[in-house]
Chain A
Amino acid sequence: MRYSLTSLLKQTLTGHKGWTPQWRDAAPKAEYDIIIVGGGGHGLATAYYLAKEYGLRNIAVLEKSWIGSGNIGRNTTIIRSNYLLSENISLYELSLKLWEGLEQDFNYNAMVSQRGVLNLYHSDGQRDAYARRGNMMRLNGADSELLDREGVRKLYPFLNFDAARFPIQGGLLQKRGGTVRHDAVAWGYARGASDRGVDVIQNCEVTGIDIVDGRAVGVQTSRGAIRAKKIGLAVAGSSSRVAAMAGMRLPIESHVLQAFVSEGLKPVIPGVITFGAGHFYISQSDKGGLVFGGDIDGYNSYAQRGNLPVVEDVCEGGMALMPAIGRARMLRNWGGLVDMSMDGSPIIDRTHVKGLYLNAGWCYGGFKATPGSGFVFAHLLAKDEPHPAANRLLLDRFLSGHIVDEKGQGAQPNLH
């Protein structure tokens, strides 16, 4: 059923009896052309674009739990393309453009809100780095503005300008950045994919990848074996575990990233603000909660939860930047598993196993990439060649040295 004000009014008059499941709760068939492992944002988006852009229908998305249970369900909802390197900007900018038309495209209000993303700088060195970044963004078709201190003050007069340990000198603003109602993205893609014939299969855990003569031919699951011509892995957070089923070791560690939400408050923070002298960024949801986060905990983890030192570190950043939030209460704090790659950038590529494709290594940037990731992964799966916007995010870059290291931290995942 198409969603619109008309359908909503009509259903209201008939007691909402006519709403149907937003996606079919499909049971696995014996064989598919393409299996996407992972019913998170990236997996569902991939299936959606495979169906929509390439007319492929015989597709299954396998989710071990409920769809949207991964990082699409536990992030800080920010979208942006304010990266330094062309390799990343091209992908994230493609993603941002897709976000801009997403709701009309998949007929689901995911509350894409381009409220602006501001990264603050506190030193000349940071200013220079942001100037370079802003220039690189412009070069790659993204929008960026370099603000001085007064420019920042005009936008956010309540920030701590006067009694700061690291005074704000200015910021890099991307007006087209913003926030999205994250869960709705998973549901919207699931609905769109399902409507186009994709089987969205929940509670179906992949336990093995069947490889014959160097070619992936299917998967073993908790609901039986399923054959497939192509298999795409979109299981960030658990990429190493699943890739190990195909005998692969990845340039990835799994880490935990915590995020936080406060009690609901009347509007106080219009856009997204990132502190430049500590680990803290914040926005406010439409429901009124301050949504904030900081750095990863920094140790390998599969536990989906973190520890107090990082909670304290994040809140210290918050209190350094905006002491007015001191009396707002943290309501909920959760942790998600992230694939921290060795250069801090994602990997979207074929693998040494024919018919097996990898979409991994999203670090903490996965949510904003969702549409773009799905779009380029669908291209890779359908055409067997990388999409031009992601043709340098390949697995062999580590061997050749064409690494995409935004922060210049080297092969230590927890520093990215």
Chain B
Amino acid sequence: MRIPCPYCGSRDASEFSYSGDATLTRPAPDNADAMFDYVYLRDNPVGVHREYWYHDAGCHAWLTVTRNVSTHEVIDAVLAHDEAAS
């Protein structure tokens, strides 16, 4: 699998670490139910999935990658920082 890192270009996925669903938002403090959802529950969908990858062996950027988990087709990768800041 190759991931188009916005900084480093197309790189093998083995350079990255994976950390799952990127559609989740960390809830406000003290909302225990929302925090439980955030920490434990996943849609785990078939098909297109937005997910976080960390470019460990590269620029150390967290990327939001859009990928089809049924075909492994990598559709898009953007900096998670840019998304979060916008």
Given the interface pairs A240-B43, A253-B42, the reply to whether A303 lies near B20 with Cβ below 8 Å is no
- Contact call B70/A412, Cβ cutoff below 8 A: no
Of the candidates A251, A298, A398, A411, the one whose C-beta lies within 8 Å of that of B18 is A298
Closest A residue to B36 by CB, please name it: A399
Interchain CA distance A325-B54 in the complex, whole Å:
34
How far in angstroms is the closest Cβ of chain B from A29? 30
How far in angstroms is the closest Cβ of chain B from A42? 19
How far in angstroms is the closest Cβ of chain B from A390? 20
Of the candidates B1, B21, B41, B70, the one whose C-beta lies within 8 Å of that of A307 is B1
Among B1, B21, B71: residue with most chain A CB under 10 A: B1
Interchain CA distance A413-B44 in the complex, whole Å:
12
- Contact call B41/A299, Cβ cutoff below 8 A: no
Interface string of A375-416 (1 = CB under 8 A from B): 000000000000000000000001100000000000111100
Given the interface pairs A302-B70, A303-B69, A307-B13, the reply to whether A250 lies near B20 with Cβ below 8 Å is no
Closest B residue to A309 by CB, please name it: B14
Residues of the A chain whose Cβ atoms lie less than 8 Å from the Cβ of B55: none
Interface string of B18-33 (1 = CB under 8 A from A): 1111000000000000
How far in angstroms is the closest Cβ of chain A from B70? 5
Residues of the B chain whose Cβ atoms lie less than 8 Å from the Cβ of A399: 36, 40
- Contact call A413/B20, Cβ cutoff below 8 A: yes
Residues of the A chain whose Cβ atoms lie less than 8 Å from the Cβ of B46: 241, 302
Among A250, A299, A307, A413: residue with most chain B CB under 10 A: A299
Count of A-B residue pairs with CB < 8 Å: 68
Given the interface pairs A307-B13, A309-B12, the reply to whether A249 lies near B43 with Cβ below 8 Å is yes
Interchain CA distance A254-B51 in the complex, whole Å:
13
Of the candidates A251, A301, A412, the one whose C-beta lies within 8 Å of that of B41 is A251
Residues of the B chain whose Cβ atoms lie less than 8 Å from the Cβ of A251: 40-42
Closest B residue to A248 by CB, please name it: B41
Interchain CA distance A398-B10 in the complex, whole Å:
38
> B81 near A: Cβ within 8 Å?
no
Interface size band for B: 20 to 34
Residues of the A chain whose Cβ atoms lie less than 8 Å from the Cβ of B70: 302-303
How far in angstroms is the closest Cβ of chain B from A375? 27
> A273 near B: Cβ within 8 Å?
no
Interchain CA distance A240-B21 in the complex, whole Å:
14
- Contact call B72/A301, Cβ cutoff below 8 A: yes
A-facing residues in B49-86 (Cβ within 8 Å)? 49, 51, 67, 69-72
> A202 near B: Cβ within 8 Å?
no
Residues of the B chain whose Cβ atoms lie less than 8 Å from the Cβ of A252: 42, 44
> B39 near A: Cβ within 8 Å?
yes
Residues of the A chain whose Cβ atoms lie less than 8 Å from the Cβ of B69: 254, 299-303
Interchain CA distance A252-B44 in the complex, whole Å:
7
Among A301, A398, A399: residue with most chain B CB under 10 A: A301
- Contact call A412/B19, Cβ cutoff below 8 A: yes
Residues of the B chain whose Cβ atoms lie less than 8 Å from the Cβ of A309: 12-14
Residues of the A chain whose Cβ atoms lie less than 8 Å from the Cβ of B44: 240-241, 249-250, 252-254, 300
Residues of the A chain whose Cβ atoms lie less than 8 Å from the Cβ of B18: 298-299, 414
> A342 near B: Cβ within 8 Å?
yes
Interchain CA distance A303-B17 in the complex, whole Å:
19
- Contact call B12/A411, Cβ cutoff below 8 A: no
Interchain CA distance A302-B43 in the complex, whole Å:
13
Closest A residue to B17 by CB, please name it: A298
| Known pairs A300-B51, A398-B36 / 12 extra A-B pairs, C-beta < 8 Å | A240-B42, A249-B43, A250-B41, A253-B21, A254-B44, A299-B13, A299-B18, A300-B20, A303-B72, A307-B72, A309-B12, A411-B40
Can you list 19 A-B pairs, Cβ within 8 angstroms, ordered by A? A240-B42, A241-B46, A249-B43, A249-B44, A250-B41, A252-B42, A252-B44, A253-B21, A253-B42, A254-B44, A299-B67, A300-B49, A300-B51, A301-B72, A302-B70, A303-B70, A342-B40, A399-B40, A414-B20
Q: Could you list which residues of chain B lie within 8 angstroms of chain A, going by C-beta atoms?
A: 1, 12-14, 17-21, 36-37, 39-46, 49, 51, 67, 69-72
